[in-house]
Structures are given as structure tokens and as C-alpha cells.
Amino acid sequence: MNVPFKIALRYLLSTKKANLINLITSISIVSIAIATIAMVVVLSAFNGLDDIIKSLYKSFDPDIKITAKYGKAISLDSVVISDLKKIEGIEQIATSIQETCYLNYDDKDIIVVLKGVDSLFNETVHLENTVMEGEYKLKENDINYAVFGYGVAARLNMFIKEFPRPVKVYSAKRKGNISLTKPESAFKTAVVYPSGIFAINQDFDSKYVLVPIELMQQLLDFNNEVSNIEVKLKPNVNAEQLAEQINNILGGRYNVKTRAQLNELIFKTNKTEKWIAFCILLFVIIISAFNLMGAVTMIILDKNKEIRTLKSIGLNNVQIKRVFLICGVLISLIGVVIGIVLGVALCWYQQYIGLVPLNGVIVDFYPVQVRFFDVGIVFITVLLIGFIGSYIPQKLLLKFKND
């Protein structure tokens, strides 16, 4: 342990008498600790929200979705599903057909996105985990059922607990001429029975209704065609790299996007908000640095006689400056360590036990997720600002004394 560090530690831990310097030093430590706790908690809260958003979108959007680059349909003659399944890293592949359709239920008429899915769709995204009323059922004894988004069901005033009446579906014909005397002939119709209501978020709940893919093939006259090929990956597989591999195999003829790319705006917005909040809290740390500057200044003024003694025993100006710089850094270090320990403990308490409730159907308590990368960023940032806050007063005051 070098001499400047020993002296700085002695100055900082000296408890012979309580005075104004000890009070200012304590206030500096507490202010840095509180600001650090705030940064850890806020960043962890944004991480928790990010995880919730990703889990919600994971319930409807696959890891990778393949869509037609031109037109609405993908011919399964050109994209062989069995060949895609051979790609290492792919666990499951489902197909779906979606189209904007018109629904009539109990004298109420609305426009929705009707999505026909195959039997593997639920294994790909696990939508059944979001069903809040009824059950996930699309086909039984040749009867077509439908699972409605919560927003769609609310607009139709639909209740699964009651005996649901059939819903009439209207879809525009892809082929044939339209008769001006019989405009209804321009539509194909079908009947489905409500089986369940799912709740994910407003983007999905307010416009989607799931039906069997066979029904959509009939309504749209699709023959070995689909709208989407939906891919589920094995754990720990990089989605972006595999999407690029699929795109190369398909020759760039289709849109191949990951879940993050499909919902790029919401994911980027959440990350941007997180680091904006970090920057705002950074100003709180800077304000705390002024307390630190005051503490270091008071220590220098209080140790005026000791500075002459230090010079007499052989310490040069650089070493004396280093003593007070180390004092300030130690104050910052104590504050940031206390803040991180308390901040992480508070987040873990919220994560595993629950402190702040969240009224809603998604989670019982406000979500938080501690990521040690963020904790490391906070530690380095606070310590760096503390270093700057310690450097300025010892540089200016000791230079003035030397002059």
C-alpha cells in the first residue's frame, strides 16, 4: 500500500472528533449512494418492461417470419417447408394465412384481420398462454371455431361464458366479376363459433381473430399457398444470423424478418427511453459531484498544517495532490458500492417477493430485471464523475497554495 493511499485512508476514516467536514463527507456519500440506487432501480425497471414486452410479442409473433416480397401469397411449391426444417437451429415451422375481413355478430359489424393458422402455430408461439377466457380451440368435429382478441370481443360485446352465437365472416373474392345488381356476390361467407379470447396488447387484441387455416384457404381460394411461414428457433440460436442464412437460401425472393425487426419501433423506443432516463439521472450524479467537491475542498483546507508536514517528510506536490484525489475517489467508491448493493437488493426483493404491485392481468408486481452490464455501466460512470469531482478542487486549491 503506497504512502498517499495510507494518508488518504487515515484522513477519511479519522473519527477523533465529529465536525463539519465529517458531516459534509457523510452527505456526499449518502447523495452518491441515493443517486446510484435510483440509476440501478430505473435501469432494472426498464429491463423488466423490455422483458415483458418481448414475452408478449413472443406470444403472437414467431422468432422469424417469412412473407412474400411481392403480392400477398407464398407458393409452397417454391418454398419447400421440409428443406427449411433441415436448417440447423430451427425447431418448428408453421404456416398461416391472413386477410382483412368483415365480421357480423349479434347485429354488430366490424372489420378485423382474420388469421388462419395450422395445428403447429400454437407450438411455435404458445398463444394459448394468453387466453384469458374460454380455450384455444380452432377445429372440432368439422366445426370451425375462432379465438378472438380481447379488443375485438369487446367491440362485439362477446362473452364466452355465455353460449356464444355464431359469427358470420365475409371475405372479398379473389377471382370473378362483381355484379352491380348483387354486390353480395363479391364476397365469400363462412360461419365460426367463438371458443376463446386472448389478451396480449392493444396492437394484437384490437384487430386479430384466429381461425383454422383450412377456412382461410376456402375463403381466399388459396391452393397450396400461404401468407406467412412462421419459424421457431431452438434455444440460444442467434435469430438475426439464422434469418440471414434463410434469406440467402431463398435467394432474397422473400422478406425474412426476426421478431425484433417486425416490431422494430416498439423495441427501439423502449431502449431509447431507458438510456434517456439514464442521462437524466446522470445529472443527479453530477449534482452529487458538487457535494463531493465541497467535501474534498473542506478536507484540503482542514489539513493545511498537515500539508506542510507532508512536504517536510519528503512528499512532493504530485504525491500530496494524489492524497486528496484518493480521498475524493474513496468517498465516491463508498457511495457507489453502498448504492449498488442497496439498489440490487431492492430490485431482487421486488423481483422475487414483490414490493410495488401492478394492477393488471399480465403480472402481479411491477417487473424488474437486474442486468450486471447495466450495474457495471453505473459503477464506472459514477466513479468517473467522482474522479473528476475530486480532481478539480485538489488541482485548483493546491496550485493556489503552491503559488
Rounded to an integer, what distance in angstroms lies between the CA atom of residue 369 and that of residue 351?
Answer: 7
Question: With bands split at pLDDT 50, 70 and 90, how would you rate the model's confidence at 103?
Answer: very high
Q: Cα dist. 371→46, 139, 314 in Å?
A: 11, 43, 47
Rounded to an integer, what distance in angstroms lies between the CA atom of residue 125 and that of residue 210?
Answer: 13
Q: What is the tens place of the pLDDT at every residue in 129-167? A: 889 889 999 998 889 999 999 999 999 988 887 667 899
Question: Phi and psi for 317 in degrees, rounded to 5?
Answer: -60, -40
* The Cα angle at residue 61 between residues 263 and 131, in degrees rounded to 5: 125
**Contact in structure between 158 and 105 (CB atoms under 8 Å):** yes
Q: H-helix or E-strand containing 98?
A: strand 90-105
Question: Phi and psi for 234 in degrees, rounded to 5?
Answer: -70, 160
Dmax over CA atoms of the chain, in Å, equals 110
Q: Which residue stretches of 14-117 are H helix?
A: 20-58, 81-85
Q: Specify the pLDDT at position 174.
A: 66
Q: H-helix or E-strand containing 377?
A: helix 372-402
Q: Which of 27-41, 82-96, 198-212, 351-365 has the lowest mean pLDDT?
A: 351-365
**DSSP for 150-202, written as a single string:** HHHHHHHT--SSS-PPPEEEEEE-SSSPPPSS-GGGGEEEEEEEEEEEE-S-H
Grid coordinates in use for 94?
A: 408453421
Q: Specify the pLDDT at position 208.
A: 94
Question: With bands split at pLDDT 50, 70 and 90, how would you rate the model's confidence at 400?
Answer: very low
Q: Specify the pLDDT at position 182.
A: 57
Grid coordinates in use for 270?
A: 423502449
Q: What is the tens place of the pLDDT at every residue in 330-341? A: 888 999 999 999
Rounded to an integer, what distance in angstroms lies between the CA atom of residue 220 and that of residue 222?
Answer: 5
Q: What is the tens place of the pLDDT at every residue in 263-314? A: 888 888 888 888 888 888 888 888 888 888 887 777 777 767 777 777 777 7
State the pTM of this model. 0.76
